[in-house]
Structure 1
Amino acid sequence: MDTLYQQNPAEAIIAIDSFMSCHNDMSQHNRMLLTLYRLRAQNSVGEPFASDSLARKVVEYFDDNGSVEEQMSAYYVLGSVYRDLDNYPEALADYQKAVALADTTDGNKNNAFLNRVYGQMGNVLLRQLAFNEAGVAYSLAVRFACKDKDTLGVLLSKEQIANVLYLQNRRDEACKLREWLHDEYLKNGLVREASKVLVPNVSTLLGRGKVEEVGRILRSYEEHSGDVDSLGNVVSGLEKYYNDKANYLLAKSDVSGALGYYRKGMQSTDDHEYREAFLRGLAQTYKKLGLSDSVAKYSELARRENDSAYVELSTLRMQQMQAAYNYSSKETEALVAKSKEAEAITRLKTVVLSFLVLLSVLALLFLRERHKKSMERIRRMLQIQQLEAENESKRNNLLALEQGKKDLDILMSKQQSKINALIEEKKELVAKLQGKGRSSADSSDGTDNQNGSIISLLWHIVDKTPRAATRKEWNQLKLYIEEFYPQTFALKSVVSPFEFDVMILVRLGFKPSEIAVLTDSSLPNVSNARKRMYEKLTKSEGSAKDFDKYIKTLI
């Protein structure tokens, strides 16, 4: 099934559904694994997801029971589900989780996966009109496709970069990139892709008067793309071809041909943007024919389509903003709940420990009183023995009594010293616990800068106001490590300053993504630093996770 869903996803869906319906006794792990394969296959064939419930169950299961590869695959699927549900903030968040997991594993093994994830991230960002961010995502997709030696993946990702350049109104760069892509497609025998890649240049070339070049591009597209049939009809979703064809014919003064394609476009689509372009083309054509009434009519219709397109776009943007707000609100509520839970646990620990110390002090006081009574009984016994020893000489009795008093005083002095030392120790412990309690409570607003609460301050930074730690904060953190983790601090001379910063943050339990924020670095740099330190400290090869386990074993 693992092989089938990657090679033939449509057949994999049928096979998995049939297999699971006939084997109700399979283990939960195998059932979840087949469910993950089916979701990946559904995503591959382009069948949109209608709900996130099944994908969330898969993520929750593999978070606790799966390998790293299974976890990142599950988060990738969940991101694709939210992409189809137009919940773009959560889609990007889950894609980022998948990437973070892939960064901690063998990079050579996951290049193809990272190429797909960054490509999907670019598509989501493009839908949100975040052109710069989309360009960065597509560039990363190109990078991992190159590492995977996937020529087609490189060319397709670069074609998406050309789309971004066009939307950024950098048309000269977009045209040059598409011309380069056309040549590369042909070199690799990809004639169909080569015939399509230059079509977006048509409007720019017509604006420059290069009508014959446009004609060659459209003829190649019609002959080799497979999108246009013998009657000149284009496949659904690509109706922009009718506008390009009509504009080309109008530039060649073929008015009747242009009118035919504009009208065919009007009849074939309900998309407001396309319809506006067709109507404006009709108005321009009738203007050439000198029919002013028709020009006014189609110009007004084009204006109405433009208004409809604006309303539709505004509605979409409002939905995206609402989704972003809902996601942000949910994340904020989760952080607040987590903070309150941690604060409550800290208070409970403080109360319990204080109660135990109080019980210890009371027990010591009870033992002290009991000891006093015991000494009193001994004293009485000595007095009785003295009185009963009438046959002994007074001198012997006095000497014995004096010696007994001396022994008693020495014993009481020793016991008193021990009791006083124990009381002082417990008082210091209570004071420390009270100090920690105050530090934990005060640190909830992120303003305490004492060494004891520098950890809380850093948690506050990565959770609420992500930024790099200041020099002052690093100094406080290193003082804290020197005091409480001397064995970790002793490794400072063995590693570089950046590696030491990463080391102490790992030792304190920060995640790789949080370490990247505090050190103002990237996740790959953090991962590489951890691998280098493992080799330096253990003289053996290992992964970043091996280093995390090793450094946390130090006292």
Structure 2
Amino acid sequence: MKVLPLILSISFCLIGCSQRRPIETKLAMAQNAIANDPYSVFLILDSLSPYELETRGDSAFYNLYYVEALHRIGLYTENDSMIRISEKYFEDTDDKKNLILAYLHHGITYLDFDNEQEAVLYLKKAESLALKEKDKNILREIYTNLSTANMVAGINEFALKYAQKAIEISKQSNNMNHYGRDLNFLATIYYHIGKTDSFQHYVMQCIPLMDKTDAKAEILNNLGRFLLENNRKKEALSCLKKAEKTKYLPETSMLLGDLYETEGKEALAVRYWYDALGSKTYTTNIHCYQKLIKYFRSQGNTKTLIDLIDRLNVTYEHKSDVDATQLTKFQSDYDEEINHQQNRHKMIFLLGTIGVLAFLILLFILVHKKRIRKYHHLIEKINTQYISDLRTYRNMKAELSQLQSERQQNQLLITEKVKEIAHLQEKLSEYQDDRQKPDQWNMEENLMDAEIVIHLHSLASRGKEAARPDWQELRQVLHRIHPVFFTNLLSKGNLNDKEMNVCMLIRLRFIPSEISVLTDSSPQSITNIRVRLLNKMFHQTGGARQFDELIRSL
């Protein structure tokens, strides 16, 4: 089934890369084949001659893909020279995406050499870059290898921490293949650190995922280990045999050897122990060498015994001494530095956000103030125009009265004045909510022409609030000229000063914008007072205009 995806990826690559050099096309083919069919990568890369690697970049990508494909199939290089060439090139060209891969596989290379100290150094470099690039898929692989390095070094706390981080990424991506593999690896860690209950718990969680992941053999291997340790040999043998058929695992061969040893099938056990040698896991090799040495010592086979002891010593010598305390401190310091950098970036982002918000708030305040000024200017303009029209109206009325009182014979002039007065009445009615003309205002001339009324109109036109003496004088004038209104008003309930002032201004035909200025209130507040007083004074519900009509009828 893997052949079809490979053919498709190669076909797309050939179409998209028709303008590339031939080596670039083959390198792109190798890159696309790594995930699905790493074995084909060697066929592609081996088809290239050294002369075709014309540039440093060609060699860097060639080496990276070669080493990555080796690690995908469980093999490793004899030294780190290939991956080091790739790493240096990607550092020089600041190619962070491929530099992360180079650091990752440099770390895996050192893991293969049983050098956990150097492995962790390169894996932490890869983690630092991957966190900045927010590449979660490669972060998961980094965490898995960091967990392995710490498990081998005996740093159990870090081994568990990184394994759980890998599981979290798998869960978030909803990748059941990775999730099953990572969950099984966590179970393996718990086994190696001696926490059998947790080992059993996670092995049982892996069973439903067995057919959803390519780690089926590894899950069967751990299940067989669990059954074997619980002396359920028949079930353990069944699981381990299924694992053996699914995929070659040195650990499965080691467990089968141990199982056959308990059944007295020593020859079969020896074959499986030999089969497990060469494992990438240090403890597996040591265990199998010790079992074989014990067996051949009991058989008196000195030649084979000496050979196995020499090979065991080489394995011991090959194992690098790891200072667990130093390695723990190194990782803690590295994590602290990464957290410090992340917090610094967050702080810079937060300060930038606060700065933007402060600017927007300031801009809003300035725009709002400008709109308020514009609004006040408009109110003052309307009030000034109203006063001007009102004064003109009064002058026209005075002139008409004068003409009529003197009984002038110039009827034409009188007619013109009448027309002008009618026009001004129409104009003044437009300021009123009920659109009534001055002749319909039900208000005495001497009240309209009172000095305090004119004074209040003047204050409104200049945007100034009326003072307390102004209100007192207005009450006196109303009480003197229109005592019936004042009596009716007082009979409607206990009104506060502001409510009384609003009622007087409405009766005197002050428009809402004037009332707003004189009482130092917003237009909406004046509207709300009128609606509330309608209910309070007249026990009715309705709008502000209805209230105005009732007040003017008093």
So what's the TM-score if we normalise by structure 1? 0.48
So what's the TM-score if we normalise by structure 2? 0.48
Larger Rg: 2
